[in-house]
């Protein structure tokens, strides 16, 4: 391609700025800005043709948008005030006329070496923004995105969420994992003008939740707009979560601050829950970790206090727990969760089982290590035949879990973060 000849053809179309002239040849000769390319071509043509060199007074292609780059950068910086971020990105929504003008130029000169208007405008505004903020341009995972909307003459700000990974322990029973809205009133607390009988007008099935202690602490610290709790599975409301705790991610939307005092947050949660909920191992992570935590079907260890309808012997209990060890259990969705789970049969494995008789054989303490997703209460009770094999079925007595503790969720936070960063 004869670059000067093509440049002359562009100049013949009308008065054009250096940026738009240079953009037609943006993929030639790296190390130059498009305005430098345009000015060099204009200068060379003037010398070759022995004509007076003149600066363009306007541009029919961009409608003089590049003369306002400094102003747009100032507006972006102003919109970013009050937000903490380490990576930013500038985007552009050009006027339809500019895009049409670019298509007209594509008919005049080859487009294979050209760069779009918005790419150049993004870069020029972004570079100037970088001179005023303590942050870097981040193409893949920006904390904030400033959109220069030339159609509306406005700067739109997109503040991306921030994510914190950690573990929680639930040391008291009667605490849900997340806010549990009443099914009958949809959280309104009333039905047809009267207090909902199911929830007593509270709008919630359970008054306390881990989420309700964790989320406010993060929202206050980050000055965020909304929080979403993502847990690695969940335990029943009447079960405790002990050991090292259950992994979770707290997603904070529209945060003004990102680097927060995580130890202070841990302390606040413990104090405001009166010790019912403890959080530890907090760390800031990327959003990819959410999927790894939610889909990480980790093995779990449990301790269940079980009551029997009639006394059983040590030999009977030993034979039953031996039969459960390494057994594959088929479980139809339990009746108690049918409203929240699809009705299907799941196969889950029991890795280990052990038991110790209590109260003269009318009760037992049973410890289990199982594959994630196994319903432990139904493994004990049999759930009317919906779960087989079961401890009740093997003993041929009725068995009911009186108290359940999750002793461990075998999911490494370090491995979760590593897998997310590797995309595996």
Q: Are residues 148 and 188 in the same domain?
A: no
Do 243 and 406 form a contact (C-beta atoms < 8 A)? yes
CATH number, domain of 253, equals 3.30.70.2510
C-alpha span between 160 and 6 (Å, rounded): 43
Query: How many C-beta atoms surround the C-beta of residue 168 within 10 A?
Result: 25
Whether the link from the prior residue into 193 is cis, omega within 30° of 0, is no
Residues spanned by the domain of 306: 300-409
Q: How confident is the model at residue 392 (pLDDT cuts 50, 70, 90)?
A: very high
Q: Are residues 190 and 333 in the same domain?
A: no
Q: Are residues 22 and 87 in the same domain?
A: yes
* Residue in the structure block whose two tokens are 């500019």: 98
What is the full DSSP assignment across 14-61? S---HHHHHHTTTTSSTT--HHHHHHHHHHHHHHHHT------S--TT
CATH number, domain of 322, equals 3.30.70.3190
- With respect to residue 424, please indicate whether it lies within any of the assigned structural domains: no
Q: Are residues 248 and 359 in the same domain?
A: no
By C-alpha distance, which of 21, 24, 32, 106 is closest to 66? Answer: 21
* Residue in the structure block whose two tokens are 């009317």: 384
The pTM for the full model equals 0.88
Structure tokens at 346: 């799941």
| Number of compact structural domains in the chain | 3
- With respect to residue 422, please indicate whether it lies within any of the assigned structural domains: no
Q: Are residues 316 and 262 in the same domain?
A: no
Q: Are residues 147 and 23 in the same domain?
A: yes
Question: Which residues have C-beta within 8 Å of that of residue 98, sequence separation ≥ 6?
Answer: 61, 62, 63, 65, 117, 150
Domain boundary among 248, 272, 294: 294
Q: What is the CA radius of gyration of the chain?
A: 32
Q: How confident is the model at residue 421 (pLDDT cuts 50, 70, 90)?
A: confident
Domain boundary among 259, 294, 329: 294
Q: Which residues pair with 181 in a beta bridge?
A: 204
The angle that helices 413-422 and 288-295 make with each other, rounded to 10 degrees, is 130
- With respect to residue 419, please indicate whether it lies within any of the assigned structural domains: no
Q: Are residues 381 and 265 in the same domain?
A: no
pLDDT tens digits for 157-203? Answer: 999 999 999 999 999 999 999 886 666 666 666 777 777 766 666 66
Q: Are residues 336 and 382 in the same domain?
A: yes
Backbone angles phi, psi at 362, to 5 degrees: -90, 0
Residue 64 annotated in active site: no
Do 370 and 350 form a contact (C-beta atoms < 8 A)? yes
- With respect to residue 417, please indicate whether it lies within any of the assigned structural domains: no
- With respect to residue 423, please indicate whether it lies within any of the assigned structural domains: no
Q: Are residues 191 and 278 in the same domain?
A: yes
Of the residues 63, 223, 236, 281, only one is catalytic, namely: 236
Q: What is the mean pLDDT of residues 109-115?
A: 91
pLDDT tens digits for 217-261? Answer: 999 999 999 999 999 999 999 999 999 999 999 999 999 999 999
Question: DSSP strand E in 94-143: where?
Answer: 136-137
Is the pLDDT reported for residue 205 higher than 80?
A: no
């Amino acid at each position: 391609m004869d670059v000067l000849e093509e440049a002359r053809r562009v100049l013949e179309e009308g008065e054009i700025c250096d940026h738009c002239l240079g953009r037609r040849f943006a993929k030639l000769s790296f190390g130059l800005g498009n305005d430098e390319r345009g000015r060099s071509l204009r200068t060379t043509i003037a010398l070759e043709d022995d004509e007076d060199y003149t600066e363009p007074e306007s541009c029919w292609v961009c409608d003089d948008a590049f003369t306002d780059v400094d102003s747009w950068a100032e507006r972006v910086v102003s919109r970013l005030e009050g937000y903490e971020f380490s990576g930013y990105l500038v985007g552009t929504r050009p006027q339809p006329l500019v895009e049409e003008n670019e298509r007209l130029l594509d008919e005049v000169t080859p487009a294979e070496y050209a760069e779009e208007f918005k790419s150049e405008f993004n870069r020029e505004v972004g570079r100037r923004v970088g001179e005023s903020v303590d942050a870097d341009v981040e193409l893949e995972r920006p904390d904030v995105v400033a959109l220069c909307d030339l159609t509306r003459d406005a700067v739109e700000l997109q503040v991306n969420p921030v994510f914190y990974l950690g573990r929680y322990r639930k040391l008291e029973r009667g605490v849900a994992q997340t806010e549990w809205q009443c099914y009958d009133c949809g959280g309104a607390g009333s039905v047809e003008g009267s207090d909902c009988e199911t929830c007593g007008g509270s709008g919630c099935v359970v008054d306390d939740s881990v989420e309700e202690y964790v989320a406010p602490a993060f929202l206050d610290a980050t000055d965020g707009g909304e929080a979403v709790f993502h847990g690695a599975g969940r335990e029943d409301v009447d079960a405790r979560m002990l050991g090292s705790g259950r992994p979770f991610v707290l997603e904070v939307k529209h945060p003004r601050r990102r680097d927060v005092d995580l130890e202070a947050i841990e302390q606040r949660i413990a104090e405001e829950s009166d010790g019912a909920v403890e959080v530890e191992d907090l760390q800031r992570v990327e959003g990819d970790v959410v999927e790894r935590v939610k889909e990480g079907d980790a093995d779990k260890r449990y301790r269940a206090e079980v009551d029997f309808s009639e006394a059983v012997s040590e030999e009977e209990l030993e034979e039953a727990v031996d039969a459960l060890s390494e057994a594959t259990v088929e479980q139809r969705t339990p009746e108690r969760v049918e409203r929240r789970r699809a009705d299907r049969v799941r196969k889950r494995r029991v890795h280990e089982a052990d038991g110790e008789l209590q109260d003269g054989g009318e009760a037992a303490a049973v410890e289990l290590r199982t594959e994630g997703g196994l319903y432990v209460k139904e493994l004990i009770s049999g759930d009317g035949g919906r779960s087989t094999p079961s401890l009740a079925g093997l003993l041929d007595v009725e068995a009911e879990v009186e108290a359940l503790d999750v002793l461990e969720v075998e999911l490494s936070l370090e491995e979760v973060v590593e897998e997310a960063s590797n995309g595996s």
